[in-house]
Structure 1
C-alpha cells in the first residue's frame, strides 16, 4: 500500500481495516468488537464483515476450531449494528433478544496462522415499526470465510426507549438490586474450561442440574454494567451444561437453537437443567435440551447439537 501525501495534508492510507463503533454493538471494550464494516445492498439486505482472533481470553478455540459462540456473538452484534446504523434506532435504546440460532461447519472454522476474516450476508425480515420507529426485526445470516460457508444463523429482537424500559424494569435497574452472592464453580475440566473464572455453573445435589453462576466481574460476559443476566452468558451456560451432560468436555458444539422467554435476574437463583434427547437418524450428533428457570418460571430453552465423537 502506498502512502499519499498532498500539500499541507496528513498521510492517508486508503482501505485500512478498523472495527465498527463499539457503541453500535453495545460493547464498552473495543477489544470485544468483532465486526469491521458493513454495507447496504437494499432496504432489507446488507453485507457485514468481521474478524475472529486466533486467540481470545474467553472464546477459546475448540478442537482446533474457532469457538461456535464467537459466531453467535457476531450474529448478536449484527442486530444492534444494523438497528442503529441503518434503521435509525437511537443509541441508548434497549434491546431484548427473543431467540438466536447458529450452526457451524467445522471444515471452515479451523484456527489458521492468521485471524479469520469473515464476509456475512444479512437478510432482514418481519420488520416492525411504530410511528415510523423500529421496534423489532428478525434477520438471517450466512457467514462465509474465503467464499465457503462457515456458519449460518438467525436472531430476533425488539427494542424500546429508555423511558419505556425504565417502566418495564422498575425496581430492577442497575444498582437497585444486589446480585446473588457468587457461588463456587463446578470443576472446570468437566465443562470444557481451564479457568474457574470462566465457569458459569455451580454444582447441585441433582444429576445434570446446576445453579447459574453469574460473575458480574467477568470482563467479557459483563463487558459493562447491566440489570439482568446477558444472553451470551446463558448460551455459555447451555454449552457447559451440554458438555457435562454428554461427558465430553472437549466436544465441539455444532448448533445452538435458543429461545429467551423473559429476563434472567441477577438477584435470584437460576436452575439450569440438561436433558439428553433421543438420537434421531437425521441428527449430526448428540442433542441436549438445556432449560433455565427462576422461581419456577421458564427463562430460556436451548437445544445443542454436539459433534459426533467418531468424526
Structure 2
C-alpha cells in the first residue's frame, strides 16, 4: 500500500503499533528535522519497527558541501548529523511532540567502521535502525529519552550511536533561557569572527569550514562562530549548535595529531551548558592513551567564562604523513 507524506509523518497515537507499510522512500520534509534547506535533509523515509523502534532510510551524497569526504571515505560526521536529524523526527512523529518543542542534547557518542564508509559511484543508501529507551513523559508529553542508532549499509553495520536528550515545551524553554531565548537578538551579539587556522591543519580545504582560530598557545584555540555558514547555521538559533561543537572537537583532534593524517572513528561528547554567542569560547586539547592499536585519542574541552559547557573524547585512526 502506498502512503502519502502526510500519512507517513503524522504523529503516531500508540508507539507500540507496528506499521507494515514499507519505508517511504522520499525526502522527509525539512521541518521535521529542524533544517531550513531541504537539500540538507539526509533522512529519506520513516517506518515503525516494533515497540519504541523505528527505521529511517538515509542517503548520503557522494560529496557534501561541508561534510566532505577524505581518503575516499564518507565523512563520519554525516552519521552524527543523521542521528541529529533523527532526534526531532522521532520526537515529533514517533512521540507526538509539537513542532515548537525543543530537543536539547545531554550527551552524544558514536563509533564508525572506516571500511564501511568507502565511497561508491552513487550516493550511499543506508538504513538507520532506531530504538528509544528510558522514555520520560510529563503531563502526557514527551520529556526526554535515550536514542540508540545503528547505521546499516549493504547489510553490514557502518556505525552505532547513542544520545540522551530532553524535549522542552516553549514555556519551559523560555524560563530556561530567559532573555537569551530570542535567536535574532542572541546572534546579533555574537563576538567578532576571528581569522581561521590554515585549513590543512584541521583537515579542511575551504577556510570558511574551519571552526578554530589560533590563540597563540599550542593546542588552544578560539571557537569560530561563522553565522554566515550555510550548513552550521542554516536557520537562526539562540545558542551555538551542538554540531558546531562536535566539529570543533574533530578539528581540534586533527590539529593535535598533525602532521600525521587522521580519520575520526569515534567521539564521546557531553553537553552540560549552552554555549552562548556573546562571549568567546575557547577549545583545548590534550592527548590521552588510546586503547586501540593504530589509533590516537584526544580529549577536547570547551571553556566559556568560568564554565566548561562541553567536553569530548575523539579517537582517530592515524597514519604517517
8 Å CA contact 1:192, 1:249 repeated in 2: no
User: For 1:156-212, what per-residue CA distance to the aligned partner results, in whole angstroms no more than 9, with x for missing partners?
Assistant: 110111122112111212133411111111111100111111110010121100000
| Residues 1:229 and 2:240 are matched in the alignment | yes
CA distance in structure 2 between the aligned counterparts of 1:38 and 1:251, rounded to whole angstroms: 34
The structure where helix makes up a greater share of residues is 2
- State the match for 1:11 in structure 2: none
Structure 1 ranges of 4+ moved more than 3 A: 14-17
Structure 1 counterpart of 2:308, from 298, 301, 309: 298
- State the match for 2:171 in structure 1: 163
Per-residue deviation at 1:296? Answer: 2.1
CA distance in structure 2 between the aligned counterparts of 1:141 and 1:42, rounded to whole angstroms: 15
Per-residue deviation at 1:278? Answer: 2.2
| Residues 1:193 and 2:204 are matched in the alignment | yes
DSSP 3-state at the match of 2:290? coil
DSSP 3-state at the match of 2:319? coil
| Residues 1:129 and 2:140 are matched in the alignment | no
- Would the alpha carbon gap of residues 113 and 161 (structure 1) be closer, same or farther in structure 2, given more than 3 Å must change? same
- State the match for 1:9 in structure 2: none
Instruction: Compute the RMSD of aligned alpha carbons.
Output: 1.6
- State the match for 2:105 in structure 1: 97
CA distance in structure 2 between the aligned counterparts of 1:121 and 1:17, rounded to whole angstroms: 15
Q: Which runs of 5+ in 1 are unaligned?
A: 1-13
Structure 1 counterpart of 2:273, from 259, 262, 280: 262
Structure 2 counterpart of 1:140, from 148, 152, 176: 148
| Residues 1:154 and 2:165 are matched in the alignment | no
- State the match for 1:308 in structure 2: 318
Per-residue deviation at 1:132? Answer: 1.2
8 Å CA contact 1:34, 1:51 repeated in 2: yes
| Residues 1:23 and 2:31 are matched in the alignment | yes
8 Å CA contact 1:62, 1:250 repeated in 2: no
CA distance in structure 2 between the aligned counterparts of 1:69 and 1:279, rounded to whole angstroms: 21
| Residues 1:241 and 2:252 are matched in the alignment | yes
| Residues 1:273 and 2:281 are matched in the alignment | no
8 Å CA contact 1:180, 1:266 repeated in 2: yes
| Residues 1:176 and 2:176 are matched in the alignment | no
CA distance in structure 2 between the aligned counterparts of 1:35 and 1:248, rounded to whole angstroms: 35
8 Å CA contact 1:277, 1:289 repeated in 2: yes
Structure 2 counterpart of 1:76, from 62, 71, 84: 84
Per-residue deviation at 1:118? Answer: 0.5
TM-score by length of 1: 0.92
- State the match for 1:6 in structure 2: none
Q: Which runs of 5+ in 2 are unaligned?
A: 1-21
TM-score by length of 2: 0.89
DSSP 3-state at the match of 2:54? strand
8 Å CA contact 2:23, 2:55 repeated in 1: no
| Residues 1:40 and 2:51 are matched in the alignment | no
DSSP 3-state at the match of 2:295? coil
CA distance in structure 1 between the aligned counterparts of 2:175 and 2:23, rounded to whole angstroms: 45
Structure 2 counterpart of 1:214, from 196, 201, 225: 225
